[in-house]
Amino acid sequence: MALSREQMAQRVAQELQDGFYVNLGIGIPTLVANYAPEGIEVMLQSENGLLGMGPFPTEAQLDPDMINAGKQTVTAATGASIFSSAESFAMIRGGHVDLTVLGAFEVDVAGNIASYMIPGKLIKGMGGAMDLVAGADNIIVLMTHASKDGESKLLPQCTLPLTGAGCIKRVVTDLAYLEIADGKFWLRERAPGVSVDDIVRLTAGELVVPETVPEMTF
């Protein structure tokens, strides 16, 4: 079965390392904040000017003035800092983020990402995504493997306007964990209960399948 949004976030949270500064994009990536492994310390950044973002608040913790870049209410962890968005983007552009987790509409075999607009549809703007893909070396895309219409989002070439070119090396979907190298997707893990054939069928870009593909563990 395909992973839930929470399970997708749990899988990405396994990539967090002690001492990391991490930016979580709008959408599913924000859920990663709830699953940081015990025993490590990470500082989660939101580009509207919060470093040290904690889990989503309970009803008792809710503060309407404490929001992330997606305008969701959040908590601040011990040692958090609040500053202007200009300083936040200076941190991003200066390469001071160790891991970035972004959602996307499309990713292709060249490591290109399209994440900010669909022509003909109203958008609020590209947000911080273009700065993040330009200023970060370690990016994980977290998205569903296919669209609501069942069309693959892992393509030979992106069809939507690009957010960044040649910048994506890893993708976690509701079906699989894949790496991008040498102009191909490389299947590294599959969601529990999901067959390799299902992943092959829903991956439009060239996919390399090793002899053994382990199931994800949580």
How many Å from the N-terminal Cα to the C-terminal Cα in the chain? 15
User: What residues have CB less than 8 Å from 36, skipping those under 6 apart?
Assistant: 13, 16, 42, 44
Tokens coding 197: 């054939």
Clarify whether 189 is annotated catalytic: no
Instruction: With CA atoms as reference, report the closest residue to 168 among 102, 120, 70.
Output: 102
- The three-state DSSP-derived secondary structure of the chain is CCCCHHHHHHHHHCCCCCCCEEEECCCHHHHHHHHCCCCCCCEEEECCCEEEECCCCCCCCCCCCCECCCCCECCEEEEEEECCHHHHHHHHHCCCCCEEEECCCEEECCCCEECCCCCCCCCCCCCCHHHHHHHCCCEEEECCCECCCCCECEECCCCCCCCECCCCCEEECCCEEEEEECCEEEEEEECCCCCHHHHHHCCCCCEECCCCCCECCC
Out of 38, 41, 47, 151, the active site residue is 47
Residues labelled as active-site residues: 47
